[in-house]
Structure formats: C-alpha cells, structure tokens
Structure 1
Amino acid sequence: MPTKTSNPPQQDANSSQCAIMFADVCGSSSLYKALGNHAAEFKIRQLLVRVTSLIEQHQGLLIKTLGDEVMVRFDSAQHALDAAKAIQLSMAAQGGSLQLRIGISFGSVLLKQGDAFGDTVNDAAFVAQIARAEEIILTQPFVSALPTSKAKLCKEFDRVALKGDGEKSVIYRLQWQAEKSVGQATQVMSLIQTTQQFHKHSLRLASDQGDAIIAPEETPFHLGRATSNQLQLESNFASRDHCHILYRRGKFVLIDHSTNGTYVTPAGQREIYLRREELPLEGRGDISLGCPAQQSPLILSYHFSN
C-alpha cells in the first residue's frame, strides 16, 4: 500500500481538480507460489496492460505502476467511474485467479513532473486498501462530483477516518455488477412499505457495563470506548470507535471498522470473526469486541425482537 505522501514544495507544481484511482491486483502472492516468479510476473504484467488500455479508452492517464498496483488520474469523475466499472467487467469476463480491488477519490491534486500528491491521492490509496477483491470503493467527494444518474449507483458502505483526518467520513461502494434478468422484472418494495412492515423491530444489547434497546430510526448506533458512542464500553481490546449497527430492510446489521475486529456468536452456532466486514444480527447471540469470547472481559448479548 502506498504510504501517505508528503506534499512537495508548491513551486513548479500545478494544482488541479481531478479523480485519482488506485487499482490493486489481488491473489498475486499465491500466483507467484504456484507459477514461479517469472511466469507470475508475466501474467500480472499482461493483466496491467489490459487495465491500462481500458483506462486510456476512458480518458485516464497512467501516473505510475507500484508493483501489482496502478495509480491513475482522470479529469472527470464520471470517466473514472466508467473506467473502474469497465475494468471489473473485463476481469469478470476473463475469469481466472486474479482479481482487482479499486479505490477512487476526487479533489485538489498537486501535479509535478508527471506525479500527483496530496490528500486526494492519500484518500484514494486508503479506500483501495479497504476494498476487497472485485470491489470499487469511493470517497464522499468523488460521489459528490458525479452526475446524479451515476451517483445513484453508489451505495453507502461505511464510515471511516481517512488518513490524517480525525473525523469519520462516509465511503461508498459502486454496484457495478448488473443484476441477471430471470423471467419478469422484480417488483421492488417501496421504502414506505418496508418501514410499515418492520416498524416494531428492535434490538436489545445487554452487558455488565450497560444496556440499550435500539429502534430502526436510532441507527446508525455506535459502540466503542470513546464517549461519543451511544454505548460506551470499556475494554482494552476494543477500539475507540469499534463498530456500528445499521438497520436495513428489516435487519440490524453490525459493521466492524476496528483494529482487532469483532467476534459474534449467534445462539447455537460457531463464533464468527469480522474485520471491516458486516453481519446481520438475527435471533439471539453474543458479541465480543476485539478478542474471542473465551478471552474477553466483556460480553455483549443481543436479542432481535419483532
């Protein structure tokens, strides 16, 4: 992952509003072990040539290649979005063991001697590392720079503290995979219908350090050591802003964004480890922040009620 860049002196540098994309190859380590250094390097280089070609077709400019990762600049947020989607669609059509994860941001960038510097570059690199294989993760400034028709394809994914920023920002995930058509079109339930159907739902959290009953309209509901959380929990294993709970279409969903992860044990099932992942909380179960339940000084029980 590129380290946070320090801005060079502004002399001989031009400031420009643009989109910065990082596209990183996933699965390269196992490929090197399976094929050997030369064969694996050749296959990855072929993939990056194909990616670069798609970038150029969408008016992108390759800034540099960093190992298995490319850094790209676009003058238009829409061109960057279209390029990212085209890349992932091409990868999916080709199949194979290699996949890409992509992160994009938009904003003021310092351009000097063919390179780019600044917070926008750092933010794009940061969200690229959050992305999993086949994902396209976007910052709030990038989504705001898109036309409305394109912005609608971007769904809220998480709230994170970007590098060097103490406050959390919303990040988004692009829904690039077209829904397969089978028979007649799916009838979509309206938000009003959904709300009416599930308005009685609630989630109860209980621990030695405090209880809470969460209604759908009270989410996102944050948990962690910081006093700013709705439920403050003291544990050396927990992060200050450890996780939060959202309500989506009749389900309470736990989203982890911590350092050590979250362990969830649904009643009668095995313990599940989450790190920058999410899980619906259904029925009853236990939550441990930062370490497995057997090692935890703090167990949080949950009970979903409808």
Structure 2
Amino acid sequence: MMASNEQNSQDHAETAVGDLSSLVSVLDDQSASRQRVAATVLFADICGSTHLFEKYGDFQARQIESHILDLLSAKTMQFDGTVIKTIGDEIMSRFPDAEHAVNAACRMQETVKSDPALSELIISIKIGLHHGRVLVEQDDLFGDAVNLAARMVSQAKADQIITTRETIDFLPEELQRTTRNLGQAWVRGKQDEMEIFEVLWQEEGSGLTQMVNTRQQEEVRSLLFARLFLEYRGEKIEIEPSAQAFSLGRGNRNSLVVDQEMVSRSHADIQFRQGKFILIDHSTNGTYLLLENGSRFLVRREEFTLHDRGCICLGHAVADDAADVIRYQCVHA
C-alpha cells in the first residue's frame, strides 16, 4: 500500500513537471511573438462616410470606401509602411520612422484629391500620426504610441494631418519647415496638455488657410486659460481646463451630485475642448438651460457649448424658485 502511494506521488510530480515545462514553452513562444520596437503609427479616416451611404446607398458607398482604402494602402506600401488593419472607414498603418510616415500622409492627401474616380464626390480624409515605442503582437500593434496616434486623428479636421511634438523632433529639418505649431491641446487619456502640429501638405497658393497673426494666436491661446464657475445650493465650484470630464448626476460618484428623482445617475458631463466648455447630456429626461439673454434650450443626448452665464437644470425646465438650479459663468483670462 505504501509502495502504491509512493508511486502515485511520483506520477503526480512527473505530471506537474511536465505541465510546468509546457507552460514555460508556451510563455517562451508568446514572448518570441511579441517585441517592442520604435515605429510611427498612422491613422487615416474618411470624412463624412455616413453621408456617402445616405447619398449613394450601401453597395456603391462601400465601393467608394474600398477604393479610397486601396489608395491609402498603396501609399503606405510605397513609403515602406505596413497596413496593420482597416476598421470600417479607417486605416491603421505602421512605418519604420516619422519621415516615411509624414511623406506617406502627404501623398495620401494628394492622391485622394487628384484621383479621377473621386473628383466629383468631394471626398476628404483626415490623418493623425505619432512616433514612439509599440508592442508588436500577432501582426497587431499596442501601446501608448498607438493610442496617441488615434487621438491625433480625432483632433484633425477634413484635409488635415495632425501629429505631436515628439514626432516632429524625429523629422529632418526640411520636413519640419512644412509644419506649423497649433499650440497646446488637451488629449483624452493624458494628464497634461500636449503640443500638437499640423503638417502642411498643400502647395503654396492651393487654398491652404494662412497662419493666423500673432494677435490672433494670443487670442486663441487665451482660451486655454478659461474657467467655468458653478454655483449650486450655496456651494461654489471652479472648473479649470482639464482632460478630465466634470460629471453631474444622481449617483454618488459624480463630481456634482444632484439628488432628484428626475435626474439620471450619470446625467451629464462638462468637458473642455479647444478652448470651450461643452455640456454633454446622457440622460433620459434631458438637461434644460436658461441663458442670460432669456433663450431657453433643451439638450437631450447631445452637446451644448456654454457661453457667458446662465442656469442649468437637470431633468426639468429652469424655474426661478427651483432649489436645484445650477448657475454657471464662463470666464476667459
């Protein structure tokens, strides 16, 4: 009996060693398939693709999208890039360095504008890119550089190429001269402002908007020093520009708790974007506003830019005698 127990123990030990060896082998294989490298990540997004489907129908709109994505893929490969994936109307690419990526981005914009098949469709794309360390895993990319590139394309408007100061620093001087500084901007997921740049891909005289003068730049910069003051039930709150949203609602975790039955748990947010405080409603009953000039608005599942001063009520219309009125005032330095 004792011999049998010893044999069983030995069998279990051998099995455990075998399982451990298998686990180590799997981890080694996974490590071999992962690597951290320096790369430039680029996102290119087709602007107004929803309108294409509304105007041309699903089949033709999808053909147009596919044609554009093919053009973008071709330019990626022309400049030693690799197409990582396409996501709906967006393409994600990886380049060995910032110079190749910026040149590819410029040619992408030019190609879409000059393609005969697209000439009557008034198609625009927007591009964002960032250079940094990425984790390569199973033909996909992960890491902060990927997230920042995605944030850059969200900052871009139609026909723009937007990138970061870190990426500009990797460019040769000649290419750096084709960029312009757009100043500091709040980027979602980052605690501090980031310095962002536009790559000027159009030739001089082709309709490119001229750079604003020094006075205009100072006016734009002053917007970044905006403040929003709220007053609720005698409490005064100052909101500074931040990537962090200021939340309002019935739930205890909100920045401002309004404990009323018509108020949703996560009723609304106030975000600071491009020099403005934006109220974003997520609620069932909506958010009501009364402006200083007497105008009244109902915001339900949409956004509203706060200006000057006024009153906010969550879930019901603004009334002078209501105890849960939130008074606000926007101030710019």
TM-score range, shorter chain: 0.5 to 0.7
For residue 66 of structure 2, give the secondary structure of its aligned residue in structure 1.
Answer: helix
1:237 equivalenced with 2:237 (yes/no): no
1:267 equivalenced with 2:297 (yes/no): no
For residue 124 of structure 1, give the secondary structure of its aligned residue in structure 2.
Answer: helix
Q: For residue 186 of structure 2, what is the aligned residue in structure 1?
A: 159
2:94, 2:247 → 1: CA distance? Answer: 39
Q: For residue 172 of structure 1, what is the aligned residue in structure 2?
A: 196
Amino acid of the residue matched to residue 236 of structure 2?
Answer: G
1:109 equivalenced with 2:134 (yes/no): yes
For residue 160 of structure 1, give the secondary structure of its aligned residue in structure 2.
Answer: coil
1:77, 1:275 → 2: CA distance? Answer: 39
For residue 42 of structure 1, give the secondary structure of its aligned residue in structure 2.
Answer: helix
User: Is the 1:222–1:245 contact (alpha carbons within 8 Å) kept by the matching residues of 2?
Assistant: no
TM-score, normalised via structure 1 length: 0.61
* Structure 1: runs of 5 or more not aligned: 1-7, 227-231, 247-252
Sort the Cα spacing of 1:13 and 1:303 in 2 relative to 1 into closer, same or farther, 3 A. closer
TM-score, normalised via structure 2 length: 0.57
1:210 equivalenced with 2:232 (yes/no): no
**Equivalent residues in 2 for 1:1-306, closer than 5 Å:** 9-92=30-113, 94=119, 96-112=121-137, 114-129=139-154, 131-138=156-163, 141-143=166-168, 145-146=170-171, 149=176, 153-156=180-183, 158-162=185-189, 167=191, 170=194, 172=196, 174=198, 176=200, 188-189=213-214, 205=229, 207-208=231-232, 209-210=235-236, 224=246, 233-235=256-258, 237-239=267-269, 242-244=270-272, 253-256=275-278, 260=282, 265=291, 267=293, 271=297, 281=307, 284-286=308-310, 288=312, 294=318, 297-302=324-329
* Structure 2: runs of 5 or more not aligned: 1-28, 249-254, 259-265
1:81, 1:146 → 2: CA distance? Answer: 9
1:25, 1:70 → 2: CA distance? Answer: 9
Q: For residue 11 of structure 2, what is the aligned residue in structure 1?
A: none
- What's the CA shift string for 1:2-30, capped at 9, x where partnerless? xxxxxx93223332101111212233333
Aligned-residue Cα RMSD (Å) equals 5.1
Identity %: 24
User: Is the 1:20–1:105 contact (alpha carbons within 8 Å) kept by the matching residues of 2?
Assistant: yes
2:63, 2:227 → 1: CA distance? Answer: 52
Structure (1 or 2) with the larger CA radius of gyration: 2
Structure number with higher helix proportion: 2
> What is the CA distance between 1:69 and its match in structure 2?
1.9
> What is the CA distance between 1:59 and its match in structure 2?
3.6
> What is the CA distance between 1:237 and its match in structure 2?
3.0
1:152, 1:210 → 2: CA distance? Answer: 43
User: Is the 1:144–1:151 contact (alpha carbons within 8 Å) kept by the matching residues of 2?
Assistant: no
